[in-house]
Each structure stands twice: as C-alpha cells, then as structure tokens.
Amino acid sequence: MNSLAWDNRSQLEVLIKRAIDPYKAEPDYASHLEVAKYIKDKKANTPFEASKMVVRYVNDRNPHIAFLALALLETLVTEVGYALQLQIATKWFLNELVRRFPERPPQYPGRVMTKILDLIHTWNEGICVSAKHKEDLVNIRDMHRLLTFKGYRFRDTGRTQLDSAIASTSNLKTAEELEQEDREAQSAKLQELIRRGTPRDLAAAQELMKALAGAEPEKKPDYRSQSLNELNKLEQKVILLNEMLDNVDTERGEKFASGDVYDQVATILSSARPKIQKWISDAESNDPEMMDIFLQMNDQINSVLNRYESYKKGDYVAAANPVPLELAG
C-alpha cells in the first residue's frame, strides 16, 4: 500500500518531500539544488506546482517541517529565478504564506513566523528592487506594507558584502545572455498567463506570443546597448576605486578596514572579473567585435585590484603607483 502511494506521487513531490524530510536536523541544500534543477528543466507548470507544494508544508503544524520548507523556498527563489519569483508574488501564495499569522503580532514570534518575516523582508529589499522584472513582484511589496501596518516588525537581514557584490553584477551579461534571459522570463510568464486563463490574461498571452515569435522586430530591445551600459557601470567602479586609491591619506594613518568602501567596491570588481574572463574566452568565436572591450575591461580591473591588494598589505608606494616601478621609466 505504501509502495503504491509512493509510485503515485509525482517526481517533483518526491524531491520536495526528500528535501524537507523531518528527520533532517538542518536544511539539506544539496536536495534543495536538486529540486531547483528539476523545476528549471521541466518548466511548464512546474514552478506553480512547486510553490503550491512548498507552501503547504510551510503551513504544517510541525514547526520543524515548516522551517525546512521555508529554507527550501528560500533556495528555490534564488536558484530558479523569475519563474518561481512570479509564483511567490501572487496574492494567493503570499496569503497562504502568512495564513497562520494572527491579526496582531505576538509579543514573541516563533521561529517559523520569524523566518517568514525575514523572507518577505529579504524579497522586498532584494528582488523587488533589483530584479529585471520587478514590476511583476509588486504584491510582495504590498504584503510587506500590510504586515508593517498590522504591527509586524522586520529584522535587519544583514545582507553581506558578497550578497551586495552579486546583486551589483547580476545584470552584467552579454547581449546573447540578456536575450536568452528575456526569452526564458517571457516563456515563464506566458505559461502563467495561460494557466490563469482569464480573458485579460489570455489577451496578454497573445501579445507575448507575438514577441516570442519575433512578429514585431521593431519592439525588440537593443541587448548589445544594454550589455555595454552595464560594462560602463562597471568601468565607473574601476575609476572610482582608482580615484580613492589616488587619495589615500597615509599621513593620517588611513589603512585597510574590512567592509569599508574600498573593500566594497573591490569586492564588486572581484565578483565581476570571472565573468569578464569567461567572455574573453568565448568572444573569439562568438563575438569578436567585443573582444577588445572585454580585454580592456579585464586589464583595468586587474590593474586596480593589484593596487588595492597593495593597499591592503600596507604597501602604499605600490598602491599609489599603478605602473610597477621597474616599468615606470
């Protein structure tokens, strides 16, 4: 009997159940990534089905299961991306997420309630601000405002410096990557519009299908310009760090401090460097026109980060001289 019940469950349900096995003391992030990969590979209605299953476990009366489900949800929102973010931003999902919240906040919220508040706050401060399609996530902002109005308080989620760097470089993509990202987002939205099936949604789906089919080429975004614009923003950070290093006040004892503005800008550039280097290796065959731009950007990043490393070590002579002394003439 148990074997038959197991066989009747979908693969998605099996994976989610495994990821939130109550016998696990802590979240199993390897299982989380397995669920995320399955959702991304299957596409179609899978993000919707996953969101339904996960939020059902969030409302489980066993707080440990609920907490494990929230940990899984947190991973999926990050790893699956827009297709799942579209689901968590629906009014239905958000209402289900806070279904067990009382009208007025308790004096001492439990672990599960605190985690839900943390997630909503993180989404409000993160994807609702920086996501490319943030206009589809407005319900998250509305829920954040509603809970605040009811007296619920959100903790500082303490975004790390690395989180900030990742957010700052998340839009750093080639024209091809930007176009592929847009098509995947449009496909996910099309699937959701068709699933909802209201006349308004179906009309919007019709327009989206035209865009996906390339029926209106004049409306196609200029992805190359978008990519160059993001590279320009990165170059401005290179210029900023160079100027900051030019003006280090050693006489007053200015020195490296972890997390300071020097460190933050350098972390953003360090985070971007692997992308630039990958593009260089790909550009020769895929986009030779961009090769010089990528090489120049890579050289600029390497140069300023070398200066910064010297500054960190207290070698202010090297930090003040971007050109090595032996080559300075």
Of 48-57, 64-73, 278-287, least confident by mean pLDDT is 278-287
d(CA 56, CA 188): 22
Q: Are residues 10 and 81 in the same domain?
A: yes
Q: Are residues 213 and 229 in the same domain?
A: no
Q: What is the CATH number of the domain that holds 121?
A: 1.25.40.90
Is residue 171 a part of any domain in this protein? Answer: no
158-197 pLDDT per residue, tens: 554 445 545 555 667 888 888 888 888 888 888 888 988 8
Q: What is the CATH number of the domain that holds 263?
A: 1.20.58
Q: Are residues 296 and 279 in the same domain?
A: yes
* 12 exposure class (CB count in 10 Å sphere: 0-12, 13-18, 19+): middle
Is residue 180 a part of any domain in this protein? Answer: yes
Q: Are residues 268 and 310 in the same domain?
A: yes
Is residue 163 a part of any domain in this protein? Answer: no
pLDDT attached to residue 62: 95
Nearest partner of 301 among 249, 241, 253, judged by Cα:
241
d(CA 152, CA 103): 10
Among 199, 219, 239, the domain-final residue is 219
d(CA 136, CA 205): 15
Q: Which domain holds residue 228?
A: 223-327
Cβ atoms 242, 304 nearer than 8 A: yes
Is residue 293 a part of any domain in this protein? Answer: yes
Q: What's the whole-number average pLDDT of the chain?
A: 84
Q: Are residues 106 and 182 in the same domain?
A: no
Is residue 167 a part of any domain in this protein? Answer: no
Is residue 166 a part of any domain in this protein? Answer: no
Q: Calculate the CA 192 to chain-centre distance.
A: 21
Q: Are residues 181 and 240 in the same domain?
A: no
Q: In the predicted model, what is the mean pLDDT of residues 295-304?
A: 90
Q: Are residues 132 and 248 in the same domain?
A: no
Among 219, 244, 271, the domain-final residue is 219
Q: Are residues 213 and 231 in the same domain?
A: no
Q: Are residues 47 and 75 in the same domain?
A: yes
Q: Are residues 293 and 316 in the same domain?
A: yes
**Which long-range CB contacts under 8 A does 109-112 form with residues at least 24 apart?**
110/63, 111/63, 111/67, 112/58, 112/63, 112/66, 112/67, 112/70
For residue 59, pLDDT beyond 90: yes
d(CA 239, CA 235): 6
* Nearby residues of 167 by Cβ (< 8 Å), 6 or more positions away: 126, 130
Q: Are residues 6 and 101 in the same domain?
A: yes
For residue 102, pLDDT beyond 50: yes
For residue 239, pLDDT beyond 50: yes
Is residue 290 a part of any domain in this protein? Answer: yes
- HSE-CB for 197 with a 13 A CA cutoff: 1
10-30 pLDDT per residue, tens: 899 999 999 999 999 999 999
- Reading the block at residue 302, the tokens are 């390497």
The total number of structural domains that make up the chain: 3
Instruction: Please state the pTM of the whole predicted model.
Output: 0.75
Q: Are residues 205 and 308 in the same domain?
A: no
Is residue 18 a part of any domain in this protein? Answer: yes
